[in-house]
């Protein structure tokens, strides 16, 4: 071993000896600090009272600084219009009777004591919506040598909030929390916010609401009961609803159903399901309307999604009624009157060409010219047995009787063809009306759906 090893061993021995000598002194140091804190506490609170405002001059206003940290949105009761929040509230003020010289107490510049021992401002939430009396949190205050008092206390607040659901589920809410002194006026206690807004550094994200901010604003109001002004601080919580769940569960099914309803005009009339489809869509919308009514609070204004549901149900009702009328046109029997001339020219002519409603084998854009139904010509006289007692097989009277029979058959065939053409014209008119109302109602459903979905962007 060299000289370096001996020197290292010697320094370690000296250090260990120093620690052994200091260990008995550590409890005495800690005990001295504790005795100084007890002495300071006894000296401070020997003649102190927490019942009076701690100011040297009673005409002087005591300044209280209020700071709020939003931790969590517990609940938004839209039906009862109550907002429940978890807040951290910090209040700071100066107590003129709780000051000391740190050098006289071994450099002790701050102590922590129960908040019930010192005077506390009676700052409460004005728009409180809880039936229970406000309870003070049993937390300590930090007392500094210059008399500055800092009181941090957690609080679960239930405040009233006017909820406007006119744009539901794309609505934004503004809920104010107003803090102020209950008994002290502005000449005795002045409340000031710390910063321009509440802190959101420790906020836990909510699944339904997105917080846009929480600005603070100081007001000075004069109430009818008192002549002196009362200052308060209002923190306005700006919320916007997360509408993804409502769009998927309530809005998107209604949009799909509303787009399905006009397709009843595209169904063939012979299928027998045109009216059934409209009634089924109407029942489905009624079920979704009941689900929406259960989740919505009663309000004076109808929400946006409620207006969309009512407009869609009205559209489906009218489309079903028109489907019934069009089916009545389709099933006009041979005994029906012919299509009016104006309807034949306007609907079966121009509108049929514009909507590309054509017969089989007819090119689009060209309509078959309406055929005039020939009026059957009755025979000159009713057919009957040949007059006279003619028994000659080649007599002309027998040929005249045959011609009368052929004319009767021809007239019957013409009447049948005319009735058939009249029936076909009514069926074609029904197809034209189906195509026309299909475009009208599908455009209406598409426009209404786009107007509602644009609100989500």
CA angle 44, 45, 51 (to 5 degrees): 125
- Record the tokens describing residue 142, joined without a space: 């930090």
- CA atoms of 445 and 258, how far apart (whole Å): 6
Backbone angles phi, psi at 248, to 5 degrees: -75, -35
**What's the rounded mean pLDDT across residues 214-219?**
96
Which of 140, 145, 141 shows the shortest CA–CA distance to 105? Answer: 145
Say yes or no to pLDDT of 177 above 90: yes
**What's the rounded mean pLDDT across residues 210-221?**
94
Which pLDDT score, from 0 to 100, does residue 21 have? 41
In words, the CATH class of domain 34-241 is: mainly beta
The sheet carrying 148-160 orders its strands as 110-114, 140-144, 148-160, 82-94, 62-77, 189-193
Q: Give Rg (Cα) of the chain.
A: 46
How does pLDDT run across 64-120, given as a tens digit for each residue?
999 999 999 999 988 888 999 999 999 999 999 999 999 999 889 999 999 999 999
CA angle 284, 272, 342 (to 5 degrees): 105
How does pLDDT run across 11-67, given as a tens digit for each residue?
434 344 443 443 343 344 445 667 888 999 999 999 899 999 999 888 889 999 999
> What does the domain layout of the chain look like in residue ranges?
34-241, 247-353+407-456
- CA atoms of 425 and 434, how far apart (whole Å): 14
Name the superfamily (CATH) of residues 247-353+407-456: Neurotransmitter-gated ion-channel transmembrane domain (1.20.58.390)
How does pLDDT run across 405-436, given as a tens digit for each residue?
777 777 776 666 666 666 677 777 778 888 88
């Amino acid at each position: 071993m060299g000289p370096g090893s001996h020197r290292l061993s010697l320094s370690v021995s000296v250090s260990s000896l120093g620690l052994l000598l200091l260990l008995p002194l550590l409890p005495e140091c800690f005990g001295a600090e504790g005795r100084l804190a007890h002495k300071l506490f006894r000296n401070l609170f020997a003649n102190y009272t927490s019942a009076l405002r701690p100011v040297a001059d009673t005409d002087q206003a005591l300044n209280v600084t209020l700071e709020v940290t939003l931790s969590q949105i517990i609940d938004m009761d839209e039906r009862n219009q109550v907002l429940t929040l978890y807040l951290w509230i910090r209040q700071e003020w100066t107590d003129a009777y709780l000051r000391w010289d740190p050098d006289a107490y071994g450099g002790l510049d701050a102590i922590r004591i129960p908040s019930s021992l010192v005077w506390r401002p009676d700052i409460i939430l004005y728009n409180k919506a809880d039936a229970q009396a406000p309870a003070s949190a049993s937390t300590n205050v930090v007392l500094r040598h210059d008399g500055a008092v800092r009181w941090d206390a957690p609080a679960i607040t239930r405040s009233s909030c006017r909820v406007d659901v006119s744009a539901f589920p794309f609505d934004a809410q503004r809920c104010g929390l107003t803090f102020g002194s209950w008994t002290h006026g502005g000449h005795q206690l002045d409340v000031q916010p710390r910063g321009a807004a509440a802190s959101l550094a420790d906020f836990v994200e909510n699944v339904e609401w997105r917080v846009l901010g929480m600005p603070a604003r100081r007001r000075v109001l004069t109430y009818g009961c008192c002549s002196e002004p009362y200052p308060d601080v209002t923190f306005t919580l700006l919320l916007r609803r997360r509408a993804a769940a409502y769009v998927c569960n309530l809005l998107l099914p209604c949009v799909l159903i509303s787009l399905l309803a006009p397709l009843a005009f595209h169904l063939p009339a012979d299928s027998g399901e045109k009216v059934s489809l409209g009634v089924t869509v109407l029942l489905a919308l009624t079920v979704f309307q009941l689900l929406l009514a259960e989740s919505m609070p009663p309000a004076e204004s109808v929400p946006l999604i409620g207006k969309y549901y009512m407009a869609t149900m009205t559209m489906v009702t009218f489309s079903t009624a028109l489907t019934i009328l069009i089916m009545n046109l389709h099933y006009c029997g041979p005994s029906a009157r012919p299509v009016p001339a104006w309807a034949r020219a306007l609907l079966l002519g121009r509108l049929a060409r514009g909507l590309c409603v054509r017969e089989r084998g007819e090119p689009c854009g060209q309509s078959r010219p309406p055929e005039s139904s020939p009026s059957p010509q009755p025979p000159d006289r009713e057919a009957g047995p040949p007059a006279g007692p003619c028994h000659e097989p080649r007599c002309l009277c027998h040929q005249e009787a045959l011609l009368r029979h052929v004319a009767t058959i021809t007239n019957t065939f013409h009447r049948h063809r005319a009735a058939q053409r009249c029936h076909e014209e009514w069926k074609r008119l029904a197809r034209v009306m189906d195509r026309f109302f299909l475009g009208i109602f599908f455009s209406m459903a598409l426009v209404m759906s786009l107007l509602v979905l644009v609100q989500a962007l």
